[in-house]
Structure 1
């Protein structure tokens, strides 16, 4: 299925700025400086050096950085490694390098130093921009790589020339060099006007194996800039909170797009997020399912601490608003199954019955709740980087926050599909962006499947990479001669073009009976339990499934009665799933320690690393299947 864009898509994009004339991202900033001038673009209140930059100041800094990089010998075709976390200096370095004609190889400073050293070597970087001298000292840079590095720039702190493999500059010193070059009339030469030139190499943070370099061109990234407007319609001055790793393709493309719309961006951290939501009161928030789950969990905890009468009131109002949302979607034919007219009319009647109470809650209860959760201004948000559980989706729908889910991969810049405000089919990953084609093929034979049939998802479009960096065999494994990219995801297409994802091909659990089970949808159902904080379904080559459970409250892991009760609760939730199968039941559960970034069991976008979790908790898995 090739998606050229619906009429509503074209209308939405017609209201956005036309960036069709750009051949490189670096051309964006002079236009924005002229358009928005002294309007605030970026702020980083929690950075080591707190900063605020207007659009004009941002453009000036980018030009200074570019002139300095050019003076250090950086030009077209070069790659410079950039290892740092969120902040205005990251963006200035990123765009300064692109303005100088170079590309960057990026990763967060919290990544294992072995990965950073590997990326530095694999990318062939001629320079290094790093967050701090402390991180630089940890890098085990090989002799060969040291001889290749022309310079090191520290984004924070003073330089430590003795630790650097070559000339070392602080960020302030780099900008001073750039300002001096501009004063002498020697800006960075204009980059080639070629959208196919390399913009960046993003290294996958995947759940298994060594990271692979994903080279993205300016055309790949500009496609996102031009088409994300089908999902959200920001206005100049709208406020955005940035919490995801800026080097990740999802956050990065969203940031380019939001700044192109004239928004004001605040960089925050997971620790400071709640406070910044109240202080900034964002209009937009881009995040991953885990954050929305955490916000819902916070509401559940607050509800449990309220007086019984208040609990009953809010519980009943929420149940009614949830039911109103379900009926409304059914009436509008926005469910995952086709609805006939009698069913839609019946749902419309039920929605009308529930509307008066929903309207009361929407007027008096939900504004206060939105204020407490996200500051009060947020009405539209985008979730990506993983599947969003239906109970989470339904909660935010009920309280008046439109969650628009997007889907894609690092290799696709990243967005392939997204839900629209006017066609928010909850449970789906949305419709493709314009110019994007999707195919569903049989996982074994590769045969093209019909609408509604589940198989492996293939994608083709202007946002898809040309191949992995320096890895032709890995590229050939995922890209065919016609440019179709194998996402590794399983799903099916609906008649309106919406994609419904059902799991990852490599995550499929094969029971000893030969039955194939997709754990993702089961895990989404299980985390709806108020007893469960995190869960991982296991069972490869076993007779039945099991689950590793992180409970919401501390519990004795060897309490047999508790484990049996929790197993019954999990199986009740699994049995209640639409289309539930008898083999989607648990033989038992085991309680385990949390999966976190610090212990390496979550990726930077908070996805669970299945291989590492099963390795850590191998004994717990054995306990599930041990005779009792």
Structure 2
């Protein structure tokens, strides 16, 4: 087996827990701004002392309500300031937070609340409260419900006023690294979600070895600030929340994805995290805007894209020549500067995870002055296991292990991981834990990948998602899907072909991109169903399929595709809250369309 290790950089003490920094900074740096809160009238700074006091007040209220050390408390809300307050207040009370996606159904809430044995739950809105009441109606113990929009934080703080400071201090100091910090339920592309037990040590070890190791440059300068808009119920955003609090980076939240653009310009972050779909949309929007401006603007934009990619590739292999640098400087004024201005003008770096960004987009953004560092990990590994490094960003890979982590690739290609960031096991599921962590301590990720000679990892697919055609050819769908999805008109692409004579694909269209395309192509009144059979749309998708097919052998190429008249969404049940496609449900619900491809 091939493996690669990076030595531990920060040996986090066994006594450390996730809430220590909030109280220490509140005392030592009371006036330091740690959070910026969008109140509707602009961004209001929250100091370390103010944040500590709000966390302490809500924690005392939870203690007054009967929450005991080790009790589980649910947290169901969009990404907003109160989410972070509640998260740290639960930890300060000595309890265990159990995040629940705010889009979850009553059945999903029922499973998580019952499986975790939660004693209460913090919800955001009246609609969330109604969902939870329906979900817990048959659960024993009548878990308490605290609603953010109902002013419950003020109520909890008032109710906990008589709880002595010493009691709160005893609660938070009694929790050490080995104690459970959170149970994060995997969003589940198949079956019931499993609860991943993550300890305080898992989170603290990860946060400090990432922030002081590969990503140190992002968190060591003055004026650093980050905008969170991904769901904090997801492990990726959650560990970044912990990193930001630990490093004193100013943290801001965007509850509504539609507000990301305006919030970027108003808050002006220096750091961002996202999933590939977010960056694809940024690129596609810029491309569509250029196309709408006419032939010359479109030509300038595509020349700028080619130049950015060429410059980035040259920088990775010895540096760009004088002519290329001059071209890039010219396009910086015409194109790249405007793109950076749309993000607030201070953003120069972003971290991307969840799935593959693709080499073309990675090189484009780097050439445009916003370098994206891809990383890799799972909920079971406290989110990251590998990440690319400023100054050594190998685009197309997910980077090297961060300090304290060992990554291996087994004989069958499966990626294996070891380190203090690996979870404590699945809640109430010893059988699944034994399947995931072998007797040598390796966590089996289920992903397939390759390690190069420098220790950089490349993910090539999911072990269980490999397609085996009727001719016995193994096909990894992800690279094909990523290339097809690079088309601005395409929202999602699912490659199929298990036990079939050839590889085919289901394609959906992006409604936002279609609106601009229709205006630019004289199809303003066309319906989605009409566009699915429009020769120009089919030709555009065919070009992307051809580009994808150029990556693989003939036996792996997509021979046919169908454009569906609906998109895969979280609401339709085909996407997880972290925007991963539930492949098994797509192939079930679109079985007729798949069969038609082979008829």
Q: Report the counterpart of residue 404 of structure 2 in structure 1.
A: 435
Rounded Cα–Cα distance in structure 2 between residues aligned with 1:282 and 1:197? 34
Q: Report the counterpart of residue 215 of structure 1 in structure 2.
A: 197
1:436-455 counterparts in 2 under 5 A? 436-443=405-412, 455=413
Aligned length: 573
* SS of the residue 2:218 aligns to: coil
- Does residue 559 (structure 1) correspond to residue 544 (structure 2)? The answer is no
Rounded Cα–Cα distance in structure 1 between residues aligned with 2:299 and 2:195? 52
Following superposition, the deviation at residue 523 of structure 1 comes to: 0.8
Rounded Cα–Cα distance in structure 2 between residues aligned with 1:489 and 1:541? 21
Aligned residue among 85, 93, 97 for 1:92? 85
Gaps in structure 1 of 5+ consecutive residues: 159-169, 332-347, 444-454
Q: Report the counterpart of residue 578 of structure 2 in structure 1.
A: 605
Following superposition, the deviation at residue 560 of structure 1 comes to: 8.6
Aligned residue among 147, 152, 155 for 1:173? 155
- Does residue 620 (structure 1) correspond to residue 580 (structure 2)? The answer is no
1:385-534 counterparts in 2 under 5 A? 385-443=354-412, 455-534=413-492
**Residues 16-66 of structure 1 deviation map (CA, whole Å, 9 limit, x = unaligned):** xx9658611111102222354234333443789997632211101111122
State the TM-score, normalized to the length of structure 1.
0.86
Following superposition, the deviation at residue 380 of structure 1 comes to: 0.5
* SS of the residue 2:423 aligns to: coil
- Does residue 147 (structure 1) correspond to residue 141 (structure 2)? The answer is yes
Following superposition, the deviation at residue 422 of structure 1 comes to: 1.4
Q: 1:540 to 1:275 in 2, by over 3 A?
A: same
Q: 1:566 to 1:301 in 2, by over 3 A?
A: closer
Following superposition, the deviation at residue 587 of structure 1 comes to: 2.3
- Does residue 42 (structure 1) correspond to residue 28 (structure 2)? The answer is no
* SS of the residue 1:134 aligns to: helix
- Does residue 260 (structure 1) correspond to residue 232 (structure 2)? The answer is no
* SS of the residue 1:274 aligns to: helix
Moved more, 380-389 or 81-90: 81-90
Q: Report the counterpart of residue 329 of structure 2 in structure 1.
A: 359
Rounded Cα–Cα distance in structure 1 between residues aligned with 2:572 and 2:538? 28
Aligned residue among 302, 309, 312 for 1:325? 312
Q: Report the counterpart of residue 225 of structure 1 in structure 2.
A: 207
Q: Report the counterpart of residue 197 of structure 1 in structure 2.
A: 179
Q: Kindly indicate whether structure 1 or structure 2 has the higher relative contact order, using CA contacts under 8 Å at least 6 residues apart.
A: 2
Q: Report the counterpart of residue 266 of structure 2 in structure 1.
A: 279
Rounded Cα–Cα distance in structure 2 between residues aligned with 1:413 and 1:612? 27
Q: Report the counterpart of residue 505 of structure 2 in structure 1.
A: 547
State the TM-score, normalized to the length of structure 2.
0.90
* SS of the residue 1:25 aligns to: coil
Gaps in structure 2 of 5+ consecutive residues: 515-527
Q: 1:74 to 1:567 in 2, by over 3 A?
A: closer
Contact 1:63 1:178 in 2 (8 A): no
Q: 1:428 to 1:272 in 2, by over 3 A?
A: same
Contact 2:375 2:388 in 1 (8 A): yes
Rounded Cα–Cα distance in structure 1 between residues aligned with 2:263 and 2:137? 44
Rounded Cα–Cα distance in structure 1 between residues aligned with 2:56 and 2:260? 31
Rounded Cα–Cα distance in structure 2 between residues aligned with 1:404 and 1:524? 17
Following superposition, the deviation at residue 260 of structure 1 comes to: 2.1
1:16-165 counterparts in 2 under 5 A? 20=13, 23-45=16-38, 53-139=46-132, 140-141=134-135, 145-147=139-141, 149=143, 151-157=144-150
Q: Report the counterpart of residue 587 of structure 1 in structure 2.
A: 559
Contact 2:569 2:575 in 1 (8 A): yes
* SS of the residue 1:540 aligns to: coil
* SS of the residue 2:163 aligns to: helix
Moved more, 260-269 or 187-196: 187-196
**Residues 352-381 of structure 1 deviation map (CA, whole Å, 9 limit, x = unaligned):** 542222233335642222113x12111011
Rounded Cα–Cα distance in structure 1 between residues aligned with 2:205 and 2:467? 36
* SS of the residue 1:147 aligns to: coil
